[in-house]
Structure 1
Amino acid sequence: MLMKYFVPNWFAGFAATSLLLFGCAKNEDMDLSIAGVAVADANFQELEDAAIRGGVVTTLSNKNPNDLQGNFTVFAPTNDAFARLGLRTAADLIALQQPFLTNTLLYHVANGTVTGAALANGRESASALGPNRRFTVRGGNMYVNGSRLVATDVKATNGTIHAVDKVLLATGVDIVQSAVALSTSQVFVKPELTFLVEAVLYCELAGALTASPGSAPLTVFAPTDQAFRNLGILLKVPLVQAKDIRLLPKDVVTAVLLNHVVGGANGGKFTPELPDQTTLTPLGGTPLTMGPFANGLLTVQGKSNATPANMVIPDVQCTNGVVHVIDQVLLP
């Protein structure tokens, strides 16, 4: 399973909610629970739809039994945050496997109260799912992982709500296991990253991308299946299905794969932590050119690419690093 953590299902308060953040002043006297605050704002319709699809069964209308004060903290994705993943309606959510969606919602929740004032550059915060979230300041904005906080400290009788502009994603397993989960339809109903997984196996690089005690974190740029198919068109090699990657010489595929993995000082970095308008040196040694940091994203370009690659799904937290899914193969 991509999300290995099991958490008691107390998250169903979202099943009838969208979060009232922009309609409530911070200092307004509140006597509503998080679920009660949540209903009125259309900016969070997709969060409501996601919670219904996620099958959560208890409610954030109630006090949190795991906190002495009975509080939760919720980092709440806006409609625009879901739209970044191509999720704009309730019907779109059918593309996601339900267990993955449920665990994703849990990753947005913390026990207790985490106020906006307590968020500081470099600080970490535990989640209900298990993995910690990390806070970064860039350009005067506060980010949690790669998601910008767009509203903070909306009070409720059972906790605090902060709004974010990207959906937070964490897998609970290492980079290889995460890619395998995508390729075997444990995340999206439709398989993804099948070419990448096949290429890693072909080149015997799984060990280098697997978590081990004391190993340094990695930043991995992971090309989509369509990115590999497009590469096949460019090379005039029929890359139709994942096994076709073995039509290419093993040493060539190895060099290309190593061009997607960054370690050292820039390993394990979310988008706001990555340098822009400069180069990064991947394990393959040929520098990658990073574009400007804009709207929480960066482009990345290989030396032999005519155009930069865009981040399709950025900031996926794994146990041994961070994966950014991109729309091109980066060529050395």
Structure 2
Amino acid sequence: MKHFFSTLCLGLVLSTTLLTSCHKDSVEPSIANSAVANDDFSVLEDAAIRGGVAVVLTNKAANGGDYTVFAPTNAAFARLGLRSAEDLLALRKPFLTTTLLYHTAAGLLPGSSLQPGSTTASVAGPARRIIGRNGALYVNGSQLLARDVQAANGLVHPIDKVLLATGADIVQSALALKNGQVFVQPELTFLVEALVYCELTGALTASPGSPSFTVFAPTDAAFKQLGQQLGVSLAQPADIRKLPKATVTAVLLNHVVNNGGKFTPEFADNGSLPTLGGGTLTMGTFAAGVIPVRGKGNDQPATLVIPDVQCTNGVVHVIDRVLLP
């Protein structure tokens, strides 16, 4: 497998073509080749190369300063089904690039500066929230597995989940998924159709002074499963319109909580959340970075398949089951 090391060589001897003359013992370790020393970051390595940010992780900043990188492990990428360089092809390259830069901060952010309630700026994207829970420290919903791994051009903090931020509001983020701008394969197509059908896009669009929400967003497979339960064929997004508009509206509002937008470590174990539709969602126990959620009408709780997606007006958690009032 190729390594960051090859890119390290390229960045250090860009003026020559003799890459073979570059040896690990001839340079001080950078973030890039410090990461490659640990096999648990091989997917991050491949992602950095494909996303075009490997040189950023190799060199100093343009002003000669350092970087801090929150580095997802292989297990973190595997949560998204990304286990190899080939799997990364499921992501659009521009989204991959901005996602990797969202993990990067200009300047040093030592572990001692990461205090619960504080925020950290990123090279690209919104500020990240530092959250404390049961003695562990989280960046948004991602737990810090270690702190202050030293490198020639900065620091590395390994994390257990990939940090996700869309740079857009909830509606535009859902549209990006629907239009295949995030994953090559479109997703949330039924949810977007339902929001349009029920005229709820305006409520979840960011505007000055508008609230921030936590949204549990069912996958396309979740809506198809709902159709099977109801005895209605939901083979394509337009089939949502076979259901009464009032019914779909009530179901959608049962997925929205007006609480400022919460990441998974911020949910109380076995707590309840009042929804915009007047119902209540029941949370399970927080474990391994996720927490189950159940609607009053559900026999089984929904699993968070893509948790902690930061939007400009809240946080979205993609789930595998529709939450029924």
TM-score w.r.t. length of structure 2 = 0.91
Asked whether 1:298 is paired with 2:295, we answer no
Q: Kindly tell me: are residues 307 and 16 of structure 1, through their superposed partners in 2, closer, same or farther at Cα, counting changes over 3 Å?
A: farther
1:120 to 115, 125, 132: 115
Q: In the alignment, which of 43, 46, 52 is matched to residue 43 of structure 2?
A: 46
Note closer, same or farther for the CA distance 1:31–1:58 as it changes in structure 2 (3 Å cut): closer
2:86 equivalent in structure 1: 91
- Secondary structure (helix, strand or coil) at the match of 2:130 reads strand
**Residue among 275, 285, 288 paired with 2:268:** 275
Identity %: 65
Partner residue, 2:303? 310
Distance in 2 (CA, whole Å) between partners of 1:222 and 1:267 is 16
Q: Is the 8 A contact 2:7 2:55 kept in 1?
A: no
Whether 2:194 is the aligned partner of 1:234: answer: no
Where does 1:100-115 land on structure 2 (aligned, <5 Å)? 100-115=95-110
Deviation, 1:31, is 3.9
Preserved CA contact (<8 Å) 2:218 2:320? yes
RMSD of aligned alpha carbons: 1.7
User: Which residue matches 2:324?
Assistant: 331
Partners of 2:6 and 2:243 lie apart in 1 by 48
Aligned residues of 1:85 and 1:313 also touching (Cα < 8 A): yes
Is structure 2 residue 94 aligned with structure 1 residue 76? no
Residue aligned with 2:229, SS: helix
Matched, 1:209 2:220: no
Alignment partners' CA distance in 2, 1:309 and 1:59? 39
- Deviation string 1:63-102 (CA, Å, 9 cap, x unpaired) is 1124xx6100000000000011111111111111111111
Amino acid at match of 1:46: V
Query: Over alpha carbons, which structure has the higher Rg?
Result: 2
Q: CA deviation at 1:58?
A: 3.0
Aligned to 1:289: 282
Distance 1:64 1:55, change over 3 A: closer
**Deviations 1:293-316 (Å, cap 9, x if unpaired)?**
111110000001110000000000
**CA–CA distance in structure 2, aligned partners of residues 326 and 292 of structure 1:** 16
Partner amino acid for 2:36?
V
Give distance in 1, aligned partners of 2:91 and 2:56.
22
Matched residues in 1 for 2:299 and 2:88: separation? 34
Which ranges in structure 1 are unaligned for 5 or more consecutive residues?
Answer: 1-11, 18-29
Contact 1:15 1:56 in 2 (8 A): no
More helix by share: 2
Say whether the 8 Å CA contact 1:317–1:323 is kept in structure 2. Answer: yes
Amino acid at match of 2:34: V
Kindly provide the CA deviation profile for residues 277-332 of structure 1, in whole angstroms up to 9, marking residues without a partner as x: 12111101111110001111100000011100000000000000000000000000
CA contact (8 A) 2:106 2:122 kept: yes
1:244 and 2:239 correspond: yes
Partner AA of 1:232 in structure 2: G
1:36 maps to 2:29: no
Corresponding residue pairs, total: 305
Q: Residue 14 of structure 1 contacts residue 47 of structure 1 at CA under 8 Å; is this kept in 2?
A: no
Assess if the C-alpha contact under 8 Å between 1:75 and 1:108 holds in 2.
yes
Q: Is the 8 A contact 2:5 2:36 kept in 1?
A: no
Q: Structure 1 CA distance, aligned partners of 2:248 and 2:283?
A: 22
- Between the aligned partners of 2:313 and 2:178, the Cα distance in structure 1 is 19
Deviation at 1:13, TM superposition (A): 6.4
Cα distance in 2 for residues equivalent to 1:35 and 1:93: 19
Matched, 1:55 2:48: no
Deviations 1:88-128 (A, max 9, x none): 11111111111111110000000000000000011001101
| Alpha-carbon distance, 1:267 to partner | 2.9
What's the TM-score, normalizing by structure 1? 0.89
- The residue that corresponds to 2:163 in the other structure is 168
Does the CA-based 8 Å contact 1:14-1:60 persist in structure 2?
no
1:293 maps to amino acid: F
**What letter is aligned with 2:94?**
P
Superposition deviation, residue 16 in structure 1: 4.6
Q: Contact 1:100–1:187 at 8 Å: present in 2 too?
A: yes
Partners of 2:219 and 2:319 within 8 A in 1:
yes
Q: 8 Å contact 1:219–1:323 — kept in the other structure? A: yes
